[in-house]
Structure 1
């Protein structure tokens, strides 16, 4: 009986895990806070990614301390033609992507490995559930721009290719996992290191 109680407590903690709840209006000393604490200006200015490249500018807890305890963050995404935001996950937040310019092909994999793919145009939005593998690709001949909102001030990003091939996992493990030769694994590792 005690075992079931302990298990249910761990389950409840996991289900309700989120950004820490504030016990005040915001996470700063009120006498030392001014309007600048609530302002983020790093999205100003025109940005253009290098040809064939994807680029992101984030407004998360790291870049914008005013988000502490607020449960939100965002990012600007810039896609040159033929560029991709590689398959990745956000372990602590769902993502709502909104296309500002151009078009993007987006996709996600659910936990049964079912692939959902959609082509989005300007003004379209798509939601990526928390923890699911997803990607965005600009297969058009024109640049695209999007903005993403996250349900956490620190959503986290785990890039699948960089994590697998850039983290130092031994070649022997990867050759067995992917059922390919060491030369293929080394080529993939070398390609990831060029990013």
Structure 2
């Protein structure tokens, strides 16, 4: 009996440790060099992908430019990444989550309505003005919307992970192939409505 209790205590302790280190794993070197890189110089630590923002034409739809581990391999193991969010008038970044990091958003220009929903299903909203910041806690559903009919908005988001991940609520629910009947029952609607939503989310060719 005593040995069983000790085993359960150890298992619970290990579970707590696993939760505590659920973010990026620690590395035991200064930085991680991909296997396909043979020469490390200043270029390895430089990311030029945001250069398209300088003097570029504004987008006509909501757009995200990312500097995560996928785009900038030097971030591997550094527990940091960025995203630049461009919101033309009336555009929205639909409800989504980042399973591996909180998001700290800084509004550089324009106005944004933002919201986050906690695990008790409580919605917290705010209207941000230029210069404001807002934090979206890790794993919680959140969104951003530019209600201004005349002006675009520009925001920069920082993440405490080199690969925060993004799970889009509309896409994750309606595009993976969950049966229409299950979705109709879940949303207390009919199959025709579900099919209409799915058609609206289908990739445009």
Settle same-fold status: TM greater than 0.5: yes
- Map Cα deviations across residues 94-131 of structure 1 (whole Å, 9 max, x no partner): 00000111110000001111111001111110000000
1:47–1:155 CA distance, 2 compared to 1 (3 A): farther
Cα deviation digits, residues 148-189 of structure 1 (max 9, x gap): 000000000000001101111111110111111000000010
User: Secondary structure in 2 aligned to 1:11?
Assistant: helix
**In structure 1, how many angstroms separate the alpha carbons of the residues matched to 2:83 and 2:38?**
30
Structure 1 unpaired stretches of 5+: none
2:12 and 2:186 map into 1 onto residues whose CA distance is 32
Mapped pair 1:40 → 2:50: no
Q: Which runs of 4+ in 1 moved over 2 A?
A: 29-32
In 2, the alpha carbon distance for the partners of 1:156 and 1:4 equals 32
Query: Quick check: which has more Rg, 1 or 2?
Result: 2
User: Which residue number corresponds to residue 95 of structure 2?
Assistant: 87
Stretches of structure 2 that go unaligned for 5 or more consecutive residues are: none
Q: TM-score, normalised by structure 1?
A: 0.95
Among residues 179, 185, 189, which one is paired with 2:188 in the alignment? 179
C-alpha distance in structure 2 between counterparts of 1:11 and 1:21, whole Å: 17
**2:179 maps to which of 170, 192, 195:** 170
Distance 1:33 1:128, change over 3 A: same
Q: Report the alpha carbon displacement of residue 55 of structure 1 after superposing the two structures with TM.
A: 0.5
Instruction: State how far apart, in whole Å, the 1-side matches of 2:132 and 2:94 are.
Output: 20
For residues 123 and 38 of structure 2, the distance between their equivalents in structure 1, rounded to whole angstroms, comes to 51
Distance 1:99 1:64, change over 3 A: same
Pairing of 1:106-145 with structure 2 (within 5 A): 106-141=114-149, 142-145=151-154
Cα RMSD after superposing both structures = 1.5
Q: Structure 1 184/133 Cα, relative in aligned 2: closer, same or farther at 3 Å?
A: same
Write the distance in 1 (CA, Å) between the matches of 2:130 and 2:179. 43
Which residue is equivalent to 1:27? 32
The equivalent residue for 1:56 is: 64
Taking structure 2 as the reference length, the TM-score comes to 0.90
- 2:155 is matched with 146
1:73-113 per-residue CA deviation (whole Å, 9 max, x = no partner) reads: 00010001110000000000000000111110000001111
